[in-house]
């Protein structure tokens, strides 16, 4: 049985391609689909996802027919006047995963949700604007998306537009091998906090707010 985390890893390449082609952040797409599809604490995917290739709880609309989709009825819930209410509704049933991505992209780049793309550099901010545009009635929807973004961060962090590459850590030790602190590499330079290094070799320093500046003694 594939867990949601394993599924998210397996579709990363497709969601990165979606981001490159349409601007929809891969981390947001993965988190939203996980939020909508996860059952049993994330250990499996919903039948709407596995049987209908609908990973975002997308309701049925006639325009989806152009992609070869059909309606499928499922029980669900909607928040009505602040109360979670059980309902049954028609959902989009897509023939393939590839078709699903086309339908998903078509909706998120249509007039209603397109303005959110102005915030695509920040997947959570982008998701907030998608939600505000009316994606779901759940008043805590964006909280659920944020939780899945955190859960999938290790897999998708390198998809954030403009994100700096991960730092390569460097352990700073004194002449006897005693660890003083952790630094990191920036190109050919080693960067480290100065206080533990300077005091670690028996020196003192003084911090002055004016400037500000550090005086090594």
Query: Do 152 and 203 have their domain in common?
Result: no
Which neighbouring-strand residues pair with 194?
A: none
Q: Give 170's pLDDT tier (boundaries 50, 70, 90).
A: confident
Query: Do 151 and 182 have their domain in common?
Result: no
Last residue within a domain, chosen from 159, 192, 207? 159
Q: What is the mean pLDDT of residues 159-171?
A: 74
Last residue within a domain, chosen from 142, 159, 176? 159
Residue-level length of the chain: 217
Instruction: Find the domain containing 53 and state its range.
Output: 4-159
CB under 8 A, 24+ apart: contacts of 108-112: 108/22, 108/24, 109/22, 109/23, 109/24
Percentage of the chain beyond pLDDT 70 is 93
Last residue within a domain, chosen from 159, 185, 208? 159
Q: Give the lowest-confidence range in 5-9, 194-198, 210-214.
A: 210-214
pLDDT of residue 77: 57
Residue 10 Rama label (left phi>0; alpha psi -120 to 50; beta) = alpha
Query: Do 102 and 18 have their domain in common?
Result: yes
Q: What pTM was computed for the model? A: 0.72
Residues 37-58 have pLDDT tens digits of 999 888 899 999 999 999 999 9
CB 170 within 8 A of CB 182: yes
Query: Do 80 and 130 have their domain in common?
Result: yes
Query: Do 67 and 109 have their domain in common?
Result: yes
Q: How many independent structural domains does the chain possess?
A: 2
Query: Do 53 and 153 have their domain in common?
Result: yes
């Amino acid at each position: 049985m594939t867990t949601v985390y394993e599924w998210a890893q397996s579709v990363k390449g497709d969601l990165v391609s979606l981001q490159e082609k349409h601007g929809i952040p891969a981390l947001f797409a993965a988190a939203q689909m996980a939020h909508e599809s996860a059952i049993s604490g994330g250990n499996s995917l919903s039948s709407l996802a596995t049987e209908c290739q609908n990973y975002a709880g997308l309701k049925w609309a006639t325009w989806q027919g152009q992609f070869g989709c059909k309606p499928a009825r499922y029980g669900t819930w909607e928040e009505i006047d602040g109360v979670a209410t059980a309902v049954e509704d028609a959902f989009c049933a897509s023939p393939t995963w590839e078709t699903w991505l086309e339908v998903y992209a078509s909706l998120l780049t249509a007039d209603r949700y397109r303005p959110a793309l102005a915030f695509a550099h920040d997947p959570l901010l982008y998701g907030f604007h998608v939600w505000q545009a009316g994606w779901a009635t759940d008043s805590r929807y964006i909280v659920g998306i944020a939780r899945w973004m955190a859960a999938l961060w290790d897999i998708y962090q390198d998809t954030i537009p403009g994100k700096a590459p991960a730092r390569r850590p460097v352990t700073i030790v004194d002449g006897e091998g005693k660890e003083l602190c952790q630094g990191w590499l920036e190109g050919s330079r080693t960067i480290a906090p100065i206080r533990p290094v300077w005091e670690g070799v028996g020196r003192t320093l003084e911090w002055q707010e004016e400037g500000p500046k550090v005086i090594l003694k």
